Amino acid sequence: MKRVGKVAALAGLVALLATGCSGDEVLRFGWPVGVTEQAAKMRWLWTWSVIAALVVGVIVWGLIFWSSAFHRRKKNADPTALPRQFQYNVPLELFCVVLPLVMVCVLFFFTATTESQVLDKKPNPDVTVDVVAFQWNWEFDYPAEAKDANGQMIKTIGSSSEIPLLVVPVGKTIQYNLRSTDVIHSFWVPEFNFKRDVFPYPEKNNQDSSFQNTIDRPGSFVGRCAELCGTYHSMMNFEVRALPADEYARYIQLRTQVNPATGLPNTAAEALAALNCGELCTPHAVTTEPFNTDRTAR
């Protein structure tokens, strides 16, 4: 009874703590709120996989507790007596083989289906961004957009004093072409619920170096390198800035123009500042910050 009381108290504590979470938070099981169509598909796969695992776990735990509680050896039982044997119970053995096989097949089916949907690529994406990773920052190029005033490709390059902003439109199909100039990095935005390694060119192991998604709401989302790549790996951040489609078109137009104050084409920060569209057009990252490369700094 003491053991049952402890288990009941623990279950009550868990239930009490869980009341602080909304239904959506509970069903996400720790995943961030996704901002892309593909993120929603992956989150649902994760949610139902965890629910299925919990159902199986509850059944197994229940059987363990039931066996422990009701099939223990009685005090006056013969210690040499063997319990009932089931090694030749064909229906039970078939059940123990067939049911796990069915479960694995179902999980494989939904995993493969979701993977196919997430990795699907349209032949003509609305926006193409070449993502170049290097120790220890990022470069974002727009090869399909108009050239700047100097006839050069529009690009944004991060530095130790400035977080690079990857500006993209909302509601459009975006293709990310990934490449590294040195070691293996990894392109990860938590709100995308997606991560992909960035390999040096040429790609190794037949790695697919591109993917597509569609962001469904405006906002600023921190991006990170998720592959240990050297001294400043933990500082290798960037920010995705998702703008409404009309604001994005205006942003690209501003990137092609010359800034009168500098005589050079507008940078990402200058173009966003000129847009003057509130928090979304903040010229500097708001989800992360630059790092100090001075190793003697404290």
Per-residue pLDDT of the chain (298 residues; tens, 9 = 90+): 566 666 667 766 666 555 555 556 666 667 778 889 888 898 888 888 888 999 999 998 998 888 877 777 677 777 777 777 767 778 888 888 898 899 999 999 999 999 998 899 999 999 999 999 998 899 999 998 888 878 889 999 988 888 999 999 999 999 999 999 989 999 999 999 899 999 887 666 667 888 999 999 999 999 999 999 888 888 899 999 999 999 999 999 998 988 888 888 888 999 999 888 888 888 888 888 887 777 676 5
> Is the whole-model pTM more than 0.75?
yes
Q: Which of 86, 227, 248 is nearest to 165 (CA)?
A: 248
Own/partner contacts of 94-101, CB < 8 Å, gap of 24 or more, are none
What is the set of domains in the chain, with CATH numbers? 21-63+90-120 (no CATH), 127-281 (2.60.40.420)
Q: How many CA atoms lie within 13 A of 262 on its CB side?
A: 10
Contact in structure between 95 and 89 (CB atoms under 8 Å): no
Report CA dihedral (222, 215, 275, 257) to the nearest 10 degrees: 100
- Using CA atoms, how far residue 108 sits from 8, 28, 59, in Å, is 36, 20, 21
Distance CA 253, CA 38 (A): 29
